[in-house]
Structure 1
Amino acid sequence: MDALTLLLTRHSQPRLTQPAPSGMTLENIKQAALRAPDHAGLKPWEFIVCTDEGLSKLGEIFKDSALKSGKGQESIDRALQLPHRAPMVIVAIAKYVEHEKVPREEQIAATACAVQSMQMAALVQGFAGIWRSGSYAQCPFVKASFNLAAQDEIVGFLYLGSSKMKPMPKPRIASDTYFTHWS
């Protein structure tokens, strides 16, 4: 698949099964992240690859967060299972690096670009994925569980695996609705 086709047909897939990317395929995904736009070469990110017991560890963090938030038993039980919706979850963290020319927001954006690059690298190699965020990404307890500083952010959770489902074609979007041209 050429790069333009990949970008124009990009899709997320929420129903993921084994296998997860591994070996050189996973290394390509990691390298794609490390090639994301990065002003001043700060590499303001950390990625935690969760598989097998790592998924359960992430589920325990979500469960403890749900408990501390006073959620009901159904939400607590669900929290334990959330990471197991895929055989791999990559936690994407923006680790702020103080720099006079690169504001915190730009470092978060760089980390987001890295997540996008990882998902595209997975797709082009025959895997599927979905980038999730939600309340656990913003939860102070979850952030503390990853030893994050106040200025750090969990940009999201990239779920990766395989899918037997054929993606539904997306309708073409009228670009003029979102683009204005100045000449």
Structure 2
Amino acid sequence: MTAEPSRVYDAVLARRSYSKVTPETPDTAEIERLLEAAATAADHAGLAPWRVIELRGAARERLGDAFARVAMEGGADADAAESQRRKPLRAELLLAVVVSYRESPKVERWEQEAAAAGVAHLLTLLLDDAGWGAMWRSGQATRSAPVAAVHGLGVDEALLGWIYVGGRPDGIRRERHATVDLAEHHSVLE
């Protein structure tokens, strides 16, 4: 059976990452509404091994300080550290995506990370569909101790990255993503 393209299909094809966003942001109630839908991502055994942390205002500045510290500890000069410090200020709202590992005899840690990543991806799709600009970012500091401390992560948690969220700037072209060569990414076993 071949179905006609659906609204979901169209939304997936229309989704774009926005590296620059305006200061407008969804409020906590809207984030929670979208998370309710994103929580339907595939999740073996229903462990819900994830959480999302909103960072606004001074929380972004503390994250920037942690980025700078990690950069300096890695041998960066003052200019490079300052560049790292400014990164979380690119958007007024960052949504930190955390994998919260659960004890399970049948669901390995990698699969729990995949479930948390599925929630993050659905959340970016839902934000885009709701008219917000969003981009999932990570980097060298993502799994560092100073950054984990800013987020208050537990011993069985790890950060997957941040979704930077804001309004969509005027004049940004929403070009279609480059397509992949399906011959390299799809096969059929017989």
TM-score normalised to structure 2 length: 0.86
Task: Name 1:45's counterpart in structure 2.
Answer: 50
- 178, 181, 186: which is aligned to 1:179? 186
Q: C-alpha separation between the residues in 2 aligned to 1:145 and 1:2?
A: 39
**1:137 maps to 2:133:** no
5 Å matches for 1:1-183? 2-22=7-27, 24-148=29-153, 152-164=157-169, 165-183=172-190
Assess if the C-alpha contact under 8 Å between 1:96 and 1:151 holds in 2. Answer: yes
Assess if the C-alpha contact under 8 Å between 2:62 and 2:150 holds in 1. Answer: no
Give 5+ residue unaligned stretches, structure 1: none
The number of equivalent residue pairs is 183
Q: C-alpha separation between the residues in 2 aligned to 1:87 and 1:167?
A: 22
Assess if the C-alpha contact under 8 Å between 2:25 and 2:93 holds in 1. Answer: yes
Q: What SS class does the counterpart of residue 138 from structure 1 fall into? A: coil
TM-score normalised to structure 1 length: 0.89
CA-CA distance at 1:99 after TM superposition: 0.6
Q: Do the aligned partners of residues 2 and 24 (structure 1) sit closer, same or farther apart at CA in structure 2, a change above 3 Å counting?
A: farther
Identity within the alignment, %: 25
Give 5+ residue unaligned stretches, structure 2: 1-5
CA displacement, residues 75-118 of structure 1 (integer Å, 9 cap, x when unaligned): 21112210111111111111111110110000000000010011
Q: C-alpha separation between the residues in 2 aligned to 1:11 and 1:117?
A: 13
